Amino acid sequence: MKQISALIRRNIKLYFKDKGLFFVSLITPVILLVLFATFLANVYKVSFVSALPVGLALKDALINAMVGGQLVSSLLAVSCVTVAFCSNSLMVQDKLSGARRDLLVTPVRRSVLSVSYFAACTLSTLIVNFAAMGLCFAYLAITGWYLAAADVCLLALDVLLLTLFGVALSSCIHFFLNTQGQVSAVGTMVSAGYGFLCGAYMPINSFSAGLQRAMSFLPGTYGTALLRNHALAGAFREMRAVGFPAEIVESIRDSIDCNLYFFGEKVSIGTMYLVLCGTIAVLSALYILFNLRKKKA
C-alpha cells in the first residue's frame, strides 16, 4: 500500500506540475462552457420555445433552466471522457522518458505501477471534472436554478461514473500507445468525435435510424442521458407543477434524449446505470488482462 500511495502521489504531482497538460485539461470544460453558453444557448432556447404548443408559455427562468440543463449535461458528458484521456497521457510519457523502465528496476511490481496510473488518473480527472461541475452549478444559479439536493448528488454520482468510464477506456487505449504522436492523434479523435457519438452535441433523434441504433449500443450515450435526466429533473418538476400536460413533458424528454430507446423499448434509469457500471467493470478487467499478459511476455 505504501508503494501504491507513493506512486499515486507522484503521478498526481507530475500531472498538476505539468502546466501545459493541466492547462489543456482544465481549459477544455471552461472553453466548452463559454462556447455552449455563447453559441448554443440561443439555439436551444429558440428550438425549445418554438416547440411549445400554442397557448402554453413558460417564464424565462424556467426556459433558461431547461436550456442550462442541456448545456451543463453536454459539457460534463464530454469533459468526463476527454479530460481522462488528457490526464492519462502520463502513462505514455513515462514510457517515452524512460521513467517507467527506471521504476520497474526498483522493487516496484508492474501490477502496482499499473494500479497507480489508473488511480492517479481517476483522482486527477475527478478534481478537474468536479471543478467543472462547480462552474456549471454557478452558471445554473445565475440563469435558472430548480435543482434539489438529490439532483445535485445524482449529478455528482453521474460525473463519478462517467469519469471512471473515461479513465478505464483511456487506460485500455493508452496501454498500446508508444509515441507522443499517437497520444495526440487519439486525443484529437476523442475530442472531435466523442461529443457527437454520445449525443452531447446533437440529439440522437436528429441522426439517421441506422446511426441511432448504433449509438444505442454505446455506453457513453447512456452516461449523457443520465446527466440530462438529473440536470433537468428540477425543470421538469416545475413544468408539471405549473400545469404542463404529462404527454407534452414526455415529448420534450424524448426530443432531448432524457428518454432513450433500445430497439423501440424505453430504457429505464436503473438500466442506464447498469450499462455504465458494467462497461466500467469490463474495461477495467481488460486493462488488468493487458497488464497480466504483458507481465508474462
What are φ and ψ of residue 10, in 5° steps? -60, -45
Q: What whole-number distance in Å separates Cα of residue 135 and Cα of residue 152? A: 13
Pick left, alpha or beta for residue 23 (phi over 0 → left; psi -120 to 50 → alpha; otherwise beta): alpha
Q: What whole-number distance in Å separates Cα of residue 246 and Cα of residue 240? A: 7
pLDDT by 10s per residue, the chain, length 297: 778 888 888 888 888 876 666 666 666 677 767 776 677 677 777 767 766 766 666 787 888 888 889 889 988 999 899 999 988 888 888 888 888 888 877 777 888 888 999 999 999 999 989 988 998 899 899 888 999 999 999 999 999 999 999 999 999 999 998 888 888 888 888 877 888 888 888 888 888 888 888 898 999 999 999 999 999 999 999 988 888 888 888 888 888 889 999 988 999 999 999 999 999 999 999 999 998 887 655
* Grid coordinates belonging to 198: 454520445
Determine if the pTM surpasses 0.85: yes
